[in-house]
A and B are shown apart, each in its own frame.
Chain A
Amino acid sequence: MGKNKVYIYKSFERFWHWTQALLIFFLAFTGFEIHGSISFFGYLNAVRYHNIAAYAFIVLIIFAIFWHLSTGEWKQYLPTLEHIRSQIDYYLFGIFRNAPHPTKKTVLSKLNPLQKLVYLGLKILVIPIMVISGLLYMFYRYPQKGGGIAGLNIGSIEPIALIHTFGAFLLITFVIAHLYLITTGTTITSNLRAMITGYEELEETEGDENKSSENSDEVKSPEKKQNIEVETVLVEKEII
């Protein structure tokens, strides 16, 4: 099987990924100072920086949503139950025997079924919950003095704070698992390199030739976008 250097992560995607990573780290750090777990910036500064970072994150999310919709990349996250079993089997057994990845990474399908599920969960559950609870945390005061959210009539910041805190724990858990799982690529650093440079060495598949290696920018042809779902290739489990 031949290998090709493929431009898999577009420049905006990488910018989005790394800014998001940085912001999540910073928000967690300042957030846990606000939570009383650590002490570093000073309480007032921690609150200020956390709020600024939160706004930055929201702006980034708006850009990211726009990018996902306009490029059709959102379809990458459509969940599928297909191959989930083999993906789990791979992480539990195959990986130790150096079995190949059960799903093949391509430009049009760069996420394995587990990634699809987890990332979708982040995008439609954890992050929206963090944004909404964060905004309420920021703006909800008791008693409300007028304003649009006065009608909410939340007597206490407690449920908001607890949900926000639990979300933070979930995100930290995700980051730990994510940092570990990116070492399970072809080599330990190949996934990391790909997210930095945009290029990754992928196995060649039919129909891929024109997109490999050279400065291909975007998936331009509309027909190809529609083919995204069918591109997952199952490689048979090999037991050695």
Chain B
Amino acid sequence: MKKIVLVLLLIGLIIFLSVKLLTTENYKPTALSLLEEKYPKKETSSVDHSQFAVLQKKFNTPQEVTEACISCHTERDKEIMRSSHWNWEREEYIAGRGIVDIGKRNAVNNFCIGVEGNEQSCAKCHIGFGMTSTTFSFTDSKNIDCLVCHDNTETYVKGNELAGLPDPSVDLNYVSQHVGKPKRSNCGVCHFFGGGGNNVKHGDLESALFEPSKDVDVHMAVEGADLQCIDCHLTEKHKILGKMYSLSSMNKDRSTCEECHTENPHKEDILNEHTYKVACQACHIPVYAKVNATKTAWDWSTAGKLKNGQPYEEDDADGNHTYLSIKGSFKWGKNLKPEYIWFNGTADHYLLGDVINDTTKPLKINTLNGSYSDKDSKIIPVKIHRAIQPFDPVYKVLIQPKLFADKKGEGAFWQDFDWRRSSAVGMKDVKLPFSGKFSFIKTEMYWPVNHMVSTKDKTVQCNECHSRNNSRLAALTDFYMPARDYSSFVETAGIGIILLTLFGVFVHGTVRVFSSRKRKASPNNQNLSGV
């Protein structure tokens, strides 16, 4: 009787478990299907700016346009003047440093090195008018350039080396009457061309994203959801989510995949579990720089060579510069596999004046913090830009050289090609001492890769990481990963006992075969056979 009860209980348990395991959940719309419903609905503007009288009167200066904007959109100027797009710096807390103001205004990179002293040229990508090395009022709201972000005509352009003023050819009235929410084209004119050319800096942000196909970016694809930058970089009161860790340091105000896709977007549990430790981007951006090459290496030490006293350039077959007298030699890469690092959302930066302790190792211009054992860290894909750039071997600091000037004789490297002079002038501009000696040091800069998300079928496959050889994660050695890793002790011991057993079987079997043949051959043993 007991047995029967037990058997019944067991059978019941098995039926219960299998029903539970095998039945699929009730249908409910997935996050993805809701997104697909939402995004094709295009917004239409509730007002027609061309009807407003204030925009009809002839604008002579761009500042007059701004005044007209603010006359209706009061308070918006104050939002702008709190933003990093305006200030080119943010207040950040960095462990070990405390609270620092950091941004384009004062940070160093390993492309054109830094803005300070070169504002006249760099300000082409500042959302203000009239930023030069010496004068700019960050409190004068008339200098806000509303149009560069809100132009919906794609005719507004800033002039070269005009300190942020629009090109004289722009019809300010026409543009101001056709404004709206920023599109990819508004953001792209600056963010796709950082570093002085298309896709130089990011690798995943470039002109191909103005009108991308699904293969280039599944979200922004014109034939797909056609998402604009601000669909993910959610913006409220001119505060835009998402920032680049080339400049920012804190784990806040980030734009994430999860804000739309949730933390568990996969059907397969084992894939969802990967999100504990692996960022979405790591698998869903198998390659970047899909259309045009991105700069992977920059050697300033070769800059300054002249032909017949004139600067010159050399290009590769795709038209990318491989040498410029003013900047040095470059390497480019297309369809690149990212490198992978641990990242917890916080970063440190080389700040002007920081003493370099070890000048024999490549200096990390920005250090993305993280490790396996850090609970907040995930594996992210990065582009690492490697450079050789000037530093002061006596004071052991990076040099901020004066690069740009509109005429010879001011010490600008791009005019005079004299490292010592441009270093002296540049360091004086940033109020740092210069020993008079210069040398070159290897540096690295880490650029998280977040865009150019591929379609599902091109996602990184399991065995691209879980593999003995050529694992994408070969460089991340601080954790055990199945298939990639093994203990040589366990392998040797395990294979050892197997081989020993096989050897034993072989010897034992051979002796058995021979001894039984011998027995059969010897008639004396007949009586024992068949026992």
Contacts and interface: CB of A to CB of B under 8 A. Distances in A.
A185 B233 CA distance: 75
Interface in B456-502: 461-463, 466-468, 479-480, 482-487, 490-491, 493-495, 497-498, 501-502
Contacts of B483: 34-36, 43
A130 to B, nearest CB: 13
B467 A36 contact: yes
Contact of A66 (B10, B467, B508, B511): B10
Nearest to A145: B276
Interface string B508-531: 110110011001000001001101
A36 B508 contact: no
A98 B14 contact: no
A63 B13 CA distance: 12
A156 B373 CA distance: 9
A62 interface: yes
Interface residues of B, number: 49
A124 interface: no
Contacts, number: 108
B531 A100 contact: yes
Contact of A162 (B276, B490, B525): B490
Interface string A147-183: 0000000011110011001101110110011001000
A67 B7 CA distance: 10
B273 A166 contact: no
A142 interface: yes
Contact of A98 (B462, B505, B525): B525
A98 B461 contact: no
A6 B62 CA distance: 105
Interface string B341-382: 000000000000000000000000000000011010000000
A42 B505 contact: no
B487 A176 contact: no
A180 B508 contact: yes
A70 interface: yes
B1 interface: no
Interface string A53-81: 00000010011001000100000000000
Contacts of B7: 66
Nearest to B482: A34
Contacts of B486: 35-36, 165
B47 interface: no
A21 interface: no
Contacts of B466: 34, 36, 43
**Secondary structure of the A contact surface, majority rule:** helix
A158 B529 contact: no
B509 A39 contact: no
A66 B463 CA distance: 40
B376 to A, nearest CB: 9
B38 interface: no
A173 B501 contact: yes
A155 B467 CA distance: 22
Nearest to B518: A96
Given A44-B462, A169-B494, A180-B508, A155 B373 contact: yes
Contacts of A91: 508
A240 B466 CA distance: 59
Instruction: Kindly state the interface size class of chain A when it binds its partner.
Output: 35 or more
A95 B479 contact: no
Contacts of A36: 466-468, 482-484, 486
B277 interface: yes
**Secondary structure of the B contact surface, majority rule:** helix
Nearest to B374: A143
B384 to A, nearest CB: 26
A141 interface: yes
A220 interface: no
Contacts of B515: 96-98
Given A36-B468, A143-B276, A42 B487 contact: no
A47 interface: yes
Contacts of B3: 70
Contacts of B273: 141
A62 B463 CA distance: 34
A176 B498 contact: yes
A170 B493 CA distance: 10
A100 B528 CA distance: 9
A166 B488 CA distance: 11
Given A143-B375, A240-B525, A165 B10 contact: no
A198 to B, nearest CB: 22
A81 B296 CA distance: 71
A109 to B, nearest CB: 19
Nearest to A32: B483
B493 A43 contact: no
B480 A161 contact: yes
Contacts of A161: 480, 482, 485
A170 B486 CA distance: 16
Contacts of A169: 490, 493-495, 497-498
Contacts of A70: 3, 6
A177 B494 contact: no
A182 B33 CA distance: 59
Contacts of A34: 466, 482-483
Interface in B156-204: none
Nearest to A181: B505
Nearest to B469: A36
Contacts of A66: 6-7, 10
A166 B490 contact: yes
29 contacts: A36-B468, A36-B482, A36-B484, A36-B486, A42-B462, A43-B462, A44-B270, A44-B461, A44-B462, A47-B462, A59-B14, A98-B525, A141-B273, A145-B276, A157-B480, A157-B482, A161-B482, A161-B485, A162-B490, A165-B486, A165-B487, A169-B493, A170-B497, A176-B501, A177-B505, A180-B505, A180-B508, A186-B531, A240-B525
Given A36-B467, A43-B483, 11 more contacts: A36-B468, A43-B461, A96-B512, A98-B519, A155-B373, A156-B480, A157-B480, A162-B490, A169-B495, A170-B497, A238-B528
Closest 7 interchain pairs by CB?
A169-B494, A36-B483, A158-B480, A43-B462, A96-B515, A180-B505, A43-B463
